[in-house]
Amino acid sequence: SDGEKTSAMIRLNWPGIEKVSRVWLFDHPGLKDQVTSGMLVFSDGSTIKVGELPNDARSCKQVIFDEKEISWIAFMVTSVSETTRNAGLAEFAVFRK
């Protein structure tokens, strides 16, 4: 992100419906930039709150949920550490069941 903090967001889109049940979120590699909470938003209108991401860009925050049929998924940053200047993700992986 470019100076974003709690407004940072990323959205992944697919051309059709995908059945998904798991997400991996990897925090930005800068040790001073850490996402402390966020929210997954799905095209079906549902949301899942996500806690603090590991602050090393090598370990993921895994989120497992009941299978959803969606055409897009978004991750929104809702809080960051006090030292954060540029909130963001190093990687956002979505998996089928």
In this prediction, residue 11 carries a pLDDT of: 98
In this prediction, residue 3 carries a pLDDT of: 83
In this prediction, residue 4 carries a pLDDT of: 86
Which one, of 91, 35, 33, 95, lies nearest residue 63 by Cα? 95
Q: Count Cβ atoms below 10 Å from residue 6 Cβ, excluding itself.
A: 16
Can you spell out the DSSP letters for 46-69? -EEEE-PPPTTSSS-EEEEEEEEE
**Two structure tokens written together for 26:** 């990897």
pLDDT digits (tens, 9 = 90+) for 86-97: 999 999 999 997
In this prediction, residue 7 carries a pLDDT of: 84
Q: Which residues contact 54 (CB under 8 A, 6 or more apart)?
A: 26, 27, 60, 61
In this prediction, residue 62 carries a pLDDT of: 98
pLDDT digits (tens, 9 = 90+) for 4-63: 899 899 999 999 999 999 999 999 888 899 999 999 999 999 999 999 999 998 999 999
76, 50 contact by CB (below 8 A): no
Domains of the chain: 9-95 (2.60.120.260)
pLDDT of 1 above 80: no
State which amino acid sits at residue 5: K
